[in-house]
A and B are shown apart, each in its own frame.
Chain A
Amino acid sequence: MIPAAFEYTKPSTVDEAVQALADGGEDAKVLAGGQSLIPMLRLRLAAPTLLVDLGGLGELRGVRDDGDALVIGAMTRYADLLRDPLVRDHAPLLAQATATVADRQVRHLGTIGGSLAEADPAGDLPSVAVALDVSFEVVGPDGWRTISAADFFVDFLTTALGDGEMLAALRVPKQDGWGTHYEKFNRVAQAWSIVGVAVAVRRENGTIAEARVGLTNMGNRPVRARAVEEALTGAPATVDAVSSAAARAAEGADPPADVWASAEYRSHLATVLTRRAVVAAGGIHAS
């Protein structure tokens, strides 16, 4: 289908983009890679009056080392993340989850910022962002501010971005010394995750010292599996201990029910995938 008509502008600086969004009012929308937005335009599920294409903003593209974190421009494409040595070395969980997004054609155009600002709880990167406490650097008519991952995701397809604000960069803490794994269950490449689990664990000898677990598609926004994290902290790095902690993966979650899976099935999947992800992230072997 052909999208409804809209105006289009392609600013060449962040200031111009912020101005264009302000001028466009509430029916203006940011176009990043377009890999979710354009299908919605075609199906006329979205009908903005103005698209502000951020594709010309080179300053929002690329990965930079900033001490204990990486700063990743919101317009950095999935394919460029996957090729980036800083991401590979310091943010392997992000790299692994990104590699599972859709297919190679989509990964060539889709962007990390577009995925996070879309805030689909079935998307793979939001759960990684909450697991790692990624910081969101946003810019708008009132200047720059930083939003934590815990505060950024508000509801289904809804973020803390205010009127006229746009996502500019992500600050991703380095996971040096941590083991990480993303485990995902879906039907085909193009399908959203039925459930996904993003895990980072830090071991001290035979014990799990710290654990972070983010869940994909287990609620109206990406959630932390706090009960699992608490059960893992200080637990022995054994399959039995991980299994009993992972059994609590769905505690506090409110998974959706749809044509692909019931809420009960999703809760079961979350426990299974969490066990697998923690075992893989922690390098834990059956004794």
Chain B
Amino acid sequence: MTRISITVDGVRYDDDVESRTLLVHHLRDRLGKVGTVVGCDTSNCGACTVLVAGDSATTRHAVKSCNVLAVQADGTEIITIEGLAGGDGSLHPVQQAFHDRHALQCGFCTPGMILAAVDLLAENPDPSDAEIREGIEGNLCRCTGYQNIVRAVRDAATALRGADVAEPASAVDGQMPGTPQAAPAVPSEPESVPVEAVPRPVP
């Protein structure tokens, strides 16, 4: 067993873990952070994505928590989907955009999809549709066909560039896209994909 100390969604946890324990299992089974889900368990689908800071990389970044050992995460600060909303419970702009744009159906990929989008927008605040699609290439959605997810990320980018958004309760070092940006809000680009109607019941 190895003693590790990690901060998850603003709370510090000290635990003894087996060296073979995966970070995602530590988060879910020991710390109760079940918002982070196990999808494919093969490091393909990205459902288990979390944000990590303080592991010697220069900025906070998204990782697949099924592809990290808990012992590797010692000393880091982690944000899961459960820690993304503001301290007052207000949704993060990416969460809000996913809600507004109906960017989920079963919702299983959503925690990872949202955190990958947060990571993308921290690096590229004004991505094109193609850049959004490439930015979330590590996350698989089997329901939506991605169209509304791309729209949601585009909306969130616009909101984040223009809005004065509260930092998440668990914010740590590094730039969250929630940080107000100097760039003015610009209108959304014209739709480059057909707009589907909100799904209606089959007659």
Contacts and interface: CB of A to CB of B under 8 A. Distances in A.
Is this pair of chains taken from one and the same complex?
yes
Interface of A: 1-8, 10, 31, 34-35, 38-39, 41-43, 51, 53, 55, 58, 61, 77, 79-80, 83, 102-106, 108-109, 188-190
Given A38-B67, A61-B56, A190 B44 contact: yes
Interface stretch (B18-26, B99-107, B158-166, B167-175): B18-26
Of listed A6, A34, A190, residue having the most chain B CB within 10 A? A190
B119 interface: yes
Given A79-B57, A190-B43, A104 B138 contact: yes
A104 B61 CA distance: 9
Contacts of B43: 35, 38-39, 106, 190
Contact of A104 (B44, B55, B135): B135
Contact of B41 (A1, A10, A83, A105): A1
B64 interface: yes
A104 B136 CA distance: 8
Interface string B46-79: 1001001001111001111011110110000000
Interface string B5-20: 0000000000000111
Given A8-B2, A35-B67, A104-B119, 8 more contacts: A3-B22, A5-B19, A10-B71, A41-B20, A83-B58, A105-B64, A106-B64, A109-B63
Contacts of B58: 80, 83
Interface string B105-120: 0000000000010011
Given A104-B62, A104-B120, A109 B56 contact: no
B82 interface: no
Contacts of B22: 2-3, 38, 42
Majority SS of interface residues in chain A? mixed
Contacts of A102: 138
Interface residues of B, number: 35
Nearest to A61: B56
A5 B20 contact: yes
B42 interface: yes
A42 B68 CA distance: 11
B67 A39 contact: yes
Given A105-B116, A108-B57, A38 B138 contact: no
B68 A34 contact: yes
Of listed A6, A35, A39, A104, residue having the most chain B CB within 10 A? A104
A148 to B, nearest CB: 30
A103 B46 contact: yes
Contacts of B120: 104
Given A2-B25, A53-B72, A103-B138, A39 B19 contact: no
